[in-house]
A = this chain, B = another copy of it.
Amino acid sequence: MNETRYERGAAMLAAVDGPAGLAVVEQLAAAFPAFARYLVEFPFGDIYARDGLGLRERELATVAALCALGHALPQLRVHVHAALHVGCKPHEVVEVIMQMAVYAGFPAALNGLAVARSVFEEAGITLPIAD
């Protein structure tokens, strides 16, 4: 049934981030196959697959946490993309990152906004968003 967790996780990862998420896992699996499997199974097969919280809320919470941690900018990039993919509006992502100035300080928020700007540019989203 490990396969079941993996399959559920892979489906959830695709739901969360589309083909981009699966591509990240495949690249990881080429070097660290066990860890790639854990990454699919635990975060996505166990946690994201749970009922009781919508994907939009999950992604906004993840954007908040990754921005606040400070050392997780590559992962923040993935999850800003994922947030848009599950239907968060660009301005919602920006609101969450701005809010991190309160809890984690302006540097964490500024670094988070730089990531968002870069993802938005790739996605053809024009800045500034009307305030």
Contacts and interface: CB of A to CB of B under 8 A. Distances in A.
B98 A43 contact: no
B58 A57 contact: no
A52 B106 contact: no
Contact of A74 (B65, B74, B107): B107
A19 to B, nearest CB: 19
Interface in A37-55: 38-39, 42-43, 46-48, 50, 52-53
A82 to B, nearest CB: 13
Interface range, A side: 35 or more
A128 B70 contact: no
Contact of A68 (B32, B38, B50, B69): B69
B34 A98 contact: yes
A128 B95 contact: no
A75 B110 contact: yes
A67 B76 CA distance: 17
Contacts of A43: 102, 106
Contacts of A71: 69-71, 107-108, 111
